[in-house]
Amino acid sequence: MGAWFSVSDRSAIEENVFSTEGEDQLSDDSDVESTLYDVAIVGFGPTGNLLANLLARQGHKVCVVEQSTDIYDKPRAIALDNESQRVLQMCGFSEYLQGMTEPFAGVNFVGVDGGIIFSQDTEPKPYLLAWPTSVSFSQPELERHMYNKGIKRFTAPAPSDSEKTGSVKMFLGRRVLKLVEGSDTVKLEVEDVSDDPTFVFHDIISSSKLAAAGTPPKTMTTNCTSRRARTRIEAKFVVGADGGSKQSVVRRHLKIPYKSLNFDERWVVVDAKLKRQPSHPIPQRSHQYCFPERPTTFIIGPNGHLRWEIKVMRGESPEMFLDTTHGIDRICEILRVTWPDVEALELWRASCYRFHALVACRWTSHGGRIFLAGDAAHQTPPFLGQGLNSGLRDASHLAWRLSHVLRFLPKDSAFPATSRLLKSYEEERAPHVTRAVDIARSLGKIVGQTNYFLARIRDYVMRLSAWLFPPKPLKYPTIHSGCMYQGKPLAGDLFPQPWVLDQSGSTKKMDDCLPLQDRAVFVVVGTAPEHVGDWLSEESNAFLNSIDTQRIVVLPLQLNGNGSDIKGVAHPGVVTVAEVGNVLSGWMAKAGCKVALMRPDRCYCFGGANDAESLNSLVAELKLWYS
Ligand SMILES: Cc1cc2nc3c(=O)[nH]c(=O)nc-3n(C[C@H](O)[C@H](O)[C@H](O)COP(=O)(O)OP(=O)(O)OC[C@H]3O[C@@H](n4cnc5c(N)ncnc54)[C@H](O)[C@@H]3O)c2cc1C
């Protein structure tokens, strides 16, 4: 059958992972890169890719060190949430989202008796963030698009007269070996591994290697003994977006263990495409088959992509599924239970994953110049579809903080360890992602129940609760700590993105109307011109201008017409649009607010205000984050 199957061992904290031998010394014979980068990113998975895109757009000098020579081409993440879509919109990838993704229709949970025990719908229109809550997509396709249409724009040498143009230097086929954090910079030692086939596909071990080795290798190793070329790179900040488990050299360098949320199961993931119409109807929704004898997840991806996730039961081993002679029969037998016409499928790939629920105990180095992001900082069972989304959230929340610190913050001797903005990255992201991982873990336990008696009780409870409290679309938790005006209205809320009518009468998403669409800066969003104008004191205005804040007035529905009404109330330096619908005005009105500060990640609210005084105190609070 060829190598369509594989094993990926994403093990938990390994023994003796924090060996310190020689870690603080860089080799003397390395070539030295002359450029001092603003940020060096280790790892070019989706997290590193988005981070590089965002930072380059803010005008920073970025380098990416990735041990593989190409983007990993196998499907993994299949669900993209509305926050990720909004951040991708900011990077100019709306076209991809509109053309290459499909909204999810919801999910049915099927119980022991084969009947539906719970049905989860997705958010109906109008969408809070102007994007569907969740869409299906292909991870390699998205990563490639972000590289071709994003990063490549910044890989050409910047014109020398334009200091503001960001740049990205790609070190592909280079593996980071060591890091040394100094008071002003971090030095990285990287090794050329471009001739090493191990790094073509970074986390997949083919079945033939598996058979030859007898047992799956535990870590990526190379047999090459001759010393490879080494380069020394220096950057003001380093982000370890170098993947999960044993993989992250950055996490190991920082000696940061994971905290386990008690989930450790093996599941076989099968990806297939439709060869022809099956002899039975195709389910319109994804399904969680909560069968104690074989818990299985079925997900409908884009363009005929179908995915099954099959729990490996006690007494079974991954090899039983991936074995060249009988593995495929075993998988087909399992698929037939819910998809009788397996002959209509073209099996694309099967892979065994070890699903964990892990969150790094710390996300930042003590010196404050090295950060973890993405799978390096957390790993989740896939039941909430949040692994990659959480990584993209890390990237967008870290990108603007780094950018603002580099551009706007005074640097004293204790910088950056004392920077409140940078500290808030971990304060905000760690509890937020922990809640998400915990929800995914609970879902995994519900779906994966293998005890018949307990499974029947589960079915009864879920049916009863669905009858008593008709289920609402699942909402991702909001943030409760970090960069916001704690305790004030709207602080930490998802910031709605309404559809609006612009000056020319075109209907657009609000963020697309901002003058600097891709700038990660704060935005004052008011519902009348005075909210973003007269209400702001001179002092507030001066501070907001110093951090490049944008302003937009979104007039409520009754004022709008064909666009000409908007021109009448236009203010210099302020974009004025009219809301189509009441997603934003309803959100503000419910909290008694008239104006709110949107954070540079475009997804969260710093706080809302209902008069000049509360608005100026909001700005005064924001100023404290920059002192
Ligand atoms: C079966 C499955 C289903 C999933 N479904 C979903 C889903 O529906 N939704 C979702 O949001 N997520 C999902 N995920 C999770 C998602 O795929 C991952 O969370 C995501 O790929 C993590 O991205 P990352 O950039 O943080 O890490 P990675 O993608 O692991 O990238 C890390 C990169 O760092 C490189 N690297 C490592 N060490 C070094 C070094 N020393 N030097 C240089 N480079 C290095 C690696 O080569 C790699 O390219 C799923 C995962 C699996 C396995």
ipTM (interface pTM): 0.96
Question: What pLDDT sits at residue 558?
Answer: 62
Question: What pLDDT sits at residue 20?
Answer: 41
For residue 257, give the nearest of 360, 327, 168 by alpha carbon. Answer: 360
In tens, the pLDDT along 558-574 reads: 654 555 566 655 566 78
- Give the mean model confidence (pLDDT) for residues 15-24: 45
d(CA 64, CA 39): 9
% of the chain with per-residue pLDDT over 90: 76
| 389 Cβ below 6 A of ligand 1 | yes
Q: Which atom of ligand 1 is nearest to 244's Cα?
A: 30
Tokens representing 306 are: 């179908």
- Give the mean model confidence (pLDDT) for residues 460-482: 89
Residue with CA closest to ligand 1 atom 52: 76
Residue 243 CA to ligand 1 center (angstroms) comes to 5
CB 546 within 8 A of CB 540: no
Question: What pLDDT sits at residue 486?
Answer: 94
More confident residue, 415 or 63: 63
The residue whose CB lies within 8 Å of the most ligand 1 atoms, and thus the one to mutate among 242, 250, 370, is 242
Residue 384 has pLDDT above 50, yes or no: yes
| 93 Cβ below 6 A of ligand 1 | no
Residue 30 has pLDDT above 80, yes or no: no
Tokens representing 49 are: 């890719």
Question: What pLDDT sits at residue 322?
Answer: 84
d(CA 623, CA 602): 19
- Give the mean model confidence (pLDDT) for residues 223-244: 86
CB 393 within 8 A of CB 536: no
The residue whose CB lies within 8 Å of the most ligand 1 atoms, and thus the one to mutate among 76, 175, 268, is 76
Please give the C-alpha separations between residue 243 and each of 67, 387, 444, in angstroms, as whole numbers. 12, 11, 22
| 391 Cβ below 6 A of ligand 1 | yes
Q: Which atom of ligand 1 is nearest to 139's Cα?
A: 17
CA angle, corner 465, sides to 461 and 471, nearest 5? 135
Confidence of residue 32 (pLDDT cuts 50, 70, 90): confident
Q: Which atom of ligand 1 is nearest to 351's Cα?
A: 1
CB 193 within 8 A of CB 222: yes
Question: What pLDDT sits at residue 394?
Answer: 98
d(CA 600, CA 604): 8
Q: What angle separates helix 46-57 from helix 82-90, to the nearest 10 degrees? A: 40
Q: Is the dihedral of CA 208, 209, 213, 217 positive or negative?
A: negative
Residue 307, H or E segment: strand 305-311
Residue 9 has pLDDT above 60, yes or no: no
Query: What residue type is assigned to position 455 of the chain?
Result: A
Q: Which atom of ligand 1 is nearest to 309's Cα?
A: 1
In tens, the pLDDT along 574-588 reads: 899 999 999 999 999
How many Cβ atoms are within 10 Å of 573's Cβ, its own excluded?
A: 10
Tokens representing 343 are: 């002959």
Q: Which residues pair with 287 in a beta bridge?
A: 108, 298
Residue with CA closest to ligand 1 atom 39: 242
Q: What is the mean pLDDT of the chain?
A: 88
| 448 Cβ below 6 A of ligand 1 | no
Please name each of the domains of the chain with its CATH number. 499-624 (3.40.30)
Residue 229 CA to ligand 1 center (angstroms) comes to 26
Confidence of residue 167 (pLDDT cuts 50, 70, 90): very high
- Give the mean model confidence (pLDDT) for residues 89-99: 95
| 48 Cβ below 6 A of ligand 1 | yes
- Give the mean model confidence (pLDDT) for residues 495-513: 95
Residue 238 CA to ligand 1 center (angstroms) comes to 18
Question: What pLDDT sits at residue 10?
Answer: 35
Q: Is the dihedral of CA 298, 299, 302, 305 positive or negative?
A: negative
Confidence of residue 7 (pLDDT cuts 50, 70, 90): very low
In tens, the pLDDT along 400-458 reads: 999 999 999 877 767 887 899 999 999 999 999 999 999 999 999 999 999 999 999 99
What dihedral angle (degrees, nearest 10) is formed by the CA atoms of 251, 252, 255, 260? 70
Please give the C-alpha separations between residue 252 and each of 40, 82, 579, in angstroms, as whole numbers. 17, 32, 49
Question: What pLDDT sits at residue 568?
Answer: 53
Question: What pLDDT sits at residue 31?
Answer: 85
Residue with CA closest to ligand 1 atom 9: 385
| 42 Cβ below 6 A of ligand 1 | yes
Residue 246 has pLDDT above 80, yes or no: no
More confident residue, 131 or 210: 131
Question: Considering only 200-209, 335-344, 463-472, 522-531, which range has the smallest mean pLDDT?
Answer: 200-209
Q: Which residues pair with 107 in a beta bridge?
A: 120, 286
More confident residue, 181 or 246: 181
